[in-house]
Amino acid sequence: MIVLLQFKNSFSIDTSGSNSVDAFFVYGITPYPKTVYWDKGKDCCTWSGVTCERMTGHVIGLNLGYSGLQGNIHHNSSLFSLRHLRRLDLSNNNFRGSPVSSNFGRLVSMIHLDLSNSNFTGQIPFEISYLSKLVSLNLSYETQVSLGTVCLKIIAQNLTNLKELCLVTVKMSSVVLDSFMNLPSSLTSLRLFDSSLKGKFPEKSFRLPNLHELDLRYNYELNGSFPKYNWSSPLKFLGLSWTRISIDLPNLTTTLKCLSVLYLEHCNFVGAYPTLLGNLTQITELDLSDDGFGGQIPWSLLNMESLISLDLSNNNFLGQLPDLHTIEQVFPWKNLQVLDLRTNLLQGQLPIPPPSTFVFLVSHNQLTGGIPSKICNLSSLVT
CATH number for the domain harbouring residue 286: 3.80.10.10
CA distances from 146 to 71, 105, 151 (A): 21, 17, 10
Residue 363 within a domain:
yes
Question: Which residue type, as a one-letter code, is found at position 320?
Answer: Q
In this structure, are residues 272 and 250 in contact, taking their beta carbons and an 8 Å threshold?
Answer: yes
Q: For the beta carbon of residue 368, count every other beta carbon within 10 angstroms.
A: 9
* pLDDT of res. 215: 98
**160 closest CA partner among 204, 210, 197:** 210
Q: For the beta carbon of residue 129, count every other beta carbon within 10 angstroms.
A: 19
* pLDDT of res. 17: 58
Cα(100)–Cα(75) distance, integer angstroms: 9
In this structure, are residues 235 and 256 in contact, taking their beta carbons and an 8 Å threshold?
Answer: yes
Q: Angle at CA 282, nearest 5°, toward 209 and 340?
A: 115
Bridge-based pairing state of the strands 221-225 and 244-247: parallel
Q: Write out the chain's pLDDT in tens, 383 residues.
A: 889 999 999 999 987 755 544 544 344 566 788 998 898 778 999 999 999 999 999 999 999 999 999 999 999 999 999 999 999 999 999 999 999 999 999 999 999 999 999 999 999 999 999 999 999 999 999 999 999 999 999 999 999 999 999 999 999 999 999 999 999 999 999 999 999 999 999 999 999 999 999 999 999 999 999 988 878 889 999 999 999 999 988 888 888 889 999 999 999 988 756 555 656 778 999 999 999 988 888 887 777 888 999 999 999 999 988 877 766 555 677 888 999 999 999 999 898 888 889 999 999 999 999 988 888 888 889 99
Predicted model pTM: 0.92
Question: Which residue type, as a one-letter code, is found at position 119?
Answer: N
Cα(237)–Cα(105) distance, integer angstroms: 31
**Number of structural domains the chain divides into:** 1
Residue 181 within a domain:
no
Cα(178)–Cα(176) distance, integer angstroms: 6
In this structure, are residues 335 and 357 in contact, taking their beta carbons and an 8 Å threshold?
Answer: no
Residues present in the chain in total: 383
321: CB partners within 8 A, 6+ apart? 297, 341, 346, 348, 349, 351, 362
Cα(169)–Cα(144) distance, integer angstroms: 9
Cα(3)–Cα(264) distance, integer angstroms: 48
Cα(354)–Cα(18) distance, integer angstroms: 38
Beta bridge partners of 156: none
Residue 370 within a domain:
yes
CA distances from 285 to 93, 96, 299, 314 (A): 31, 36, 16, 17
Cα(53)–Cα(85) distance, integer angstroms: 10
CA distances from 246 to 19, 168, 176, 194, 264 (A): 40, 22, 20, 18, 11
Q: Is 249 left (phi over 0), alpha (psi -120 to 50) or beta?
A: alpha
Residue 325 within a domain:
yes
Instruction: Give the domain extent around 344.
Output: 273-383
- Helix intervals (H) in 10-148: 21-27
Residue 312 within a domain:
yes
Beta strand residue intervals within 167-212, DSSP E: 189-191, 198-200
Residue 259 within a domain:
no
> What is the side-by-side strand order in the sheet with 366-368?
294-295, 316-320, 345-349, 366-368
> Largest Cα–Cα distance in the chain?
74
In this structure, are residues 66 and 32 in contact, taking their beta carbons and an 8 Å threshold?
Answer: yes
373: CB partners within 8 A, 6+ apart? none
In this structure, are residues 247 and 271 in contact, taking their beta carbons and an 8 Å threshold?
Answer: no
In this structure, are residues 281 and 257 in contact, taking their beta carbons and an 8 Å threshold?
Answer: no
Cα(344)–Cα(366) distance, integer angstroms: 8
